[in-house]
Structure 1
Amino acid sequence: MPMDWTPPPRGTGREPDLNKVINDFKSKIPGFKKAKGLWVVVLIVAAIVLGSTAYYTVGPEENGIILRFGRFVRESGPGLHFKLPLGIENAIKVKTGRVFKEEFGFRVISPGVRSRFSEKGYAEESLMLTGDLNVIEVKWIVQYKIRDPQLWLFAVRDPVAAIRDLSESVMRQIVGNRLSDQVLTLQRVEIAAKAQVELQKLLDSYKTGVQVVTVKLQDVNPPPPVQPAFNEVNEARQQKERMINEAQEAYNREIPKALGEASRVVTEAEGYATEKVNRAQGQAKRFEDVLASYLTAEDVTRRRLYLEAMQRMLANTQKIYVVDEQVRGLLPLLNLGAGKGRATNQDLGQPQGKGVK
């Protein structure tokens, strides 16, 4: 459509009036007023679209991954952030602060104080072969966190499937290297700890960006057809352990007692032997001294030995009878039973100076 407008003549020395030019332009274009309202609506819609796609919010348990035309450019933490609008940059939120759980051999139907579980259809996950060629049913859980959001999104096609496959492989390897009795009773904690370490090594080697929080065995049982036989074996084993513990208790009670009694007898025998030896040595030394004195003074030593022997003998005597050479009967000399002094020859009515030598 040709416009009927001519510029002002040149060389007049004046600048044209801008408002007059705009008004002349509007008057020459038909329907300009209607188009003006449409453009305003378009601008408002464009502003809303641009504004709504130019920011994003990351939650407290999340990390934001920003992609520009599908390529990773940066990572952002919790809070309000801005990005290029109109799909130039896209924000993917990854929950790095939450602990996720994978269940093997069962599924939780309704969690709660008394959770309900479903075990049908998961026998392929739980049935395993032990080192002694017995089949057991192992149920366990794996709890993990996303440590590196970039690796979680781009290093592995399906990280959840990788966690499940690697966990099942590790558990089957560990259970296959042990006896069924060890898996059922003795080494459950050790198996769970070893599975956590081995699973973390594999996940790190595949660069999944996952941190294993814990691996826990929920239930380990023999298959239902053979559970009665296993229960009988376990009862017999428990009875055996109980009898061994009772015997060990009796052993721990009686053996120290016998050892203490033996030690007491040995100590008393050693003390008795020491006493006898010391006494024999003392008597031998006394005999040697007496012999030396006897060789030096024979009469004095003989008299002293006689007096000492008589003193020891009379110390335990209650009555003493002295036999005189001229009297054929017994002559009482002392009344030791009275306990108060000694009787004299005059008290007894006997002549003095006879009876004692």
Structure 2
Amino acid sequence: MSRGPRDNHPIEQWASQIDWKNTNWQGGAASILVFIVFLAVVWGGMTSYYTVQPEGQAVVKRFGRVVAVKPPGLHFKLPFGIDQQTFVPTARVLKQEFGFRTVDTSLDSVTEYDKGSTHQDESLMLTGDLKVVDVEWVVQFRVDDPNKYLHRVRDIEQTIRDSSEAVMRRIVGNSLGSDVLTIKRVQIATTAKEELQEILTAFDMGITIGTVELQDVTPPDPVKPAFNEVNQAEQEKERMINEAEKRRNQMVPRASGEAKQLIEAAEGYRAQRVNRATGEVARFKAITDEYRNSPEVTRRRMHLEMIDSVMPNLGRVIVVEPGQTSPIPLMNLDSNIPSPALLAPQTAPQSSVRGPSSSGQMPSPRTGGQR
């Protein structure tokens, strides 16, 4: 493929102007020496400085031996390849992906991931209950010591990948498959970060683990439908439990309030009955004491009190005298109108309520006829 015309370097232009065939080499030895010195000066000047980017540091080696670690900025070194620098991004967060690869991360497009079968060797793992799960995760880390990062191990990225995969397989292998897929994802990531940091610290690699994130944990493709059904059943179970808890929270306080109300009502009824019984006992004792002192008066008073409490509740009062053949209505207590029998002349010799007899006994009232 041909190339278009381009501007020659000044040195090339100067060299092209020399007539190498007709040059007097003996007389031009000085010129050649000057030319070589000029090239050496130019080359030395171009290789005697370097610039370190703001996001990292540079490890400077002289004849293969580390002599300095330079911060960001412009620095000078021995020319002609005597000093060589290697840039290490110490200010960036580096990452290693397992089970997938990021394909496109440009700002004007959606990030794409490659989850082909070539990465399943990293992600397929066996759980403690002999189930296979597909675990995808990311390890993020920073470089603390550039010198150790470059020279402690031969292939630092592969060392990180092997250590991370070994740690993740061991943790997943000690867990149940259902826990790995559901509730233990955060715990697994935290444990993996701690154990991976211990391993890399023992290797003295000069890096610090930032995070270990589980991106996606799923069952293999052939069993995904059954796994989805199990998840739906678990969600339905949780929903029913939540509804039952809600119902319990509504019913238990209500039942507790009703029970408390019944207990308080029973306590009030108990106090009422006890107080009433106590009063009746006190009244009975008082009557008993009075009866012992004057039995006849007490008996008559009790009889009159009984008559006084019973008579207002009677609708008709009939008095039957000895030798009387038919009852005579005395008074209609339901109204204030006298009974017709009272308005008519009475033929019986005794037609009114008499006082107590000479024996001290009151006539016996009878209702509804003779008893």
* Smaller-chain TM-score bracket: 0.7 to 0.9
1:102 aligned residue: 96
1:114–1:60 distance in 2 versus 1, CA, 3 Å: closer
- 2:279: which partner in 1? 282
> Is the contact made by 1:109 and 1:118 (CA closer than 8 Å) also made in structure 2?
no
Structure 1 position 242, deviation (Å) = 4.1
2:64 corresponds to 1:70: yes
Aligned counterpart, 2:153: 156
What is the TM-score normalised by the length of structure 2?
A: 0.70
Amino acid across the alignment from 1:62: G
Which is further off, 91-100 or 269-278?
Answer: 269-278
Query: Could you list the per-position Cα deviations for residues 142-199 of structure 1 after superposition, in whole angstroms to 9, with x for gaps in the alignment?
Result: 1111122221111111111111111111111011111211112221221112111111
Aligned letter for 1:106? F
- Can you list the C-alpha shifts for 1:254-289, whole angstroms capped at 9, x where unaligned? 445444434433443333233322322222122112
Give the Cα–Cα distance (whole angstroms) in 1 for the partners of residues 291 and 302 of structure 2.
10
2:58/2:85 contact within 8 Å kept: yes
The amino acid of 1:110's aligned partner reads D
Deviations 1:222-242 (A, max 9, x none): 222333333344444444444
CA distance 1:74–1:306, shift in 2 (3 Å): farther
Task: Decide whether the 8 Å contact of 1:108 with 1:118 is kept in 2.
Answer: no
1:134 aligns with 2:153: no
Structure 2 match to 1:25? none
Q: Are residues 1:295 and 2:263 paired?
A: no
1:187-198 aligned at under 5 Å gives the runs 187-198=184-195
Residue in structure 2 matched with residue 79 of structure 1 by the alignment: 73
The Cα shift of 1:66 comes to 2.7
Q: Secondary structure at the match of 2:118?
A: coil
- Residue 265 of structure 2 aligns with an amino acid whose one-letter code is E
Contact (CA 8 Å) 2:98, 2:137: kept in 1 or not?
Answer: yes
Matches within 5 A, 1:5-16: none
State the AA in 1 paired with 2:208.
Answer: Q
CA pair 333-251 structure 1, distance change in 2 beyond 3 A = closer
Which runs of 5 or more residues in structure 1 are unaligned?
1-30
CA shift digits 1:20-62 (9 cap, x unpaired) = xxxxxxxxxxx89x969985x7776655544444433322221
Where 1:64 maps in the other structure, the secondary structure is strand
Q: Select which of 161, 170, 173 maps to 1:173.
A: 170
* 1:209 aligns to 2:206 (yes or no): yes
In 2 relative to 1, CA 320–54 (structure 1 residues): closer, same or farther, beyond 3 Å? Answer: farther
Q: CA deviation at 1:319?
A: 6.6
* C-alpha RMSD over aligned residues: 3.8
Give the partner amino acid of 2:133. Answer: I
Query: Residue type matched to 1:163 in 2?
Result: I
Question: In structure 2, how many angstroms separate the alpha carbons of the residues matched to 1:334 and 1:249?
Answer: 65
Structure 1 residue 93 corresponds to structure 2 residue 87: yes
Q: Is the 8 A contact 2:104 2:110 kept in 1?
A: no
In the aligned structure 2, how far is the partner of 1:202 from the partner of 1:160? 14
8 Å CA contact 2:133, 2:218 repeated in 1: yes
- TM-score, normalised by the number of residues in structure 1: 0.73
Unaligned runs of 5+ in 2: 1-26, 346-351, 356-371
Percent identity of paired positions between Structure 1 and Structure 2: 45
